[in-house]
Amino acid sequence: MEKALLYLIRILDSVADKDYSVVFFCTRTGTDNYLSYWWIKDIYVKLPYHYKKNLKDFYIVHPSMWTRLTTWWFSTFMAPVIKHKIHNVYAVTELDSIIHSTQFDIPMFIQEYDMSINGLRYYQP
């Protein structure tokens, strides 16, 4: 997780000077790679202030029950300032309507999972 944090800081360093959004795909996460409360708290404490201030939105696509509970707990009791920035997105088409996800490639396994839970009527090749 420490390497993931360093990678996150390296990626965000180039965009954190202006408003930015993060899209986190929680698709098919298992118990071995859930976001833990302590890891989220550790990231929040270690990130510099301008990273938190310039975060416009944090989208969680296909959130698990554990992810929803963890982010709700964290944003309610530890960081209420960011509560309005966290959004759960249950379908890729919903993400498309928000941020036009055609700007980046969504892996096929995420699209397949989305079709399996939301049906083929949402799929637009």
Residue-wise pLDDT for 33-69, tens only, equals 677 788 888 888 888 888 889 999 999 999 988 889 9
Listing from the earlier edge strand, what are the strands of the sheet with 20-25? Answer: 20-25, 55-61, 86-89
2-122 homologous superfamily: CRAL-TRIO lipid binding domain (3.40.525.10)
Q: Which residue has the higher pLDDT, 56 or 101?
A: 56
Instruction: Tell me how far apart the alpha carbons of residues 48 and 53 are, in angstroms, rounded to a whole number.
Output: 9
**Which residues share a beta bridge with 86?**
58
Q: What is the pTM of this model?
A: 0.84
Instruction: Tell me how far apart the alpha carbons of residues 3 and 81 are, in angstroms, rounded to a whole number.
Output: 26
Which pLDDT score is estimated for 83?
Answer: 93
Q: Is the dihedral of CA 74, 83, 92, 42 positive or negative?
A: negative
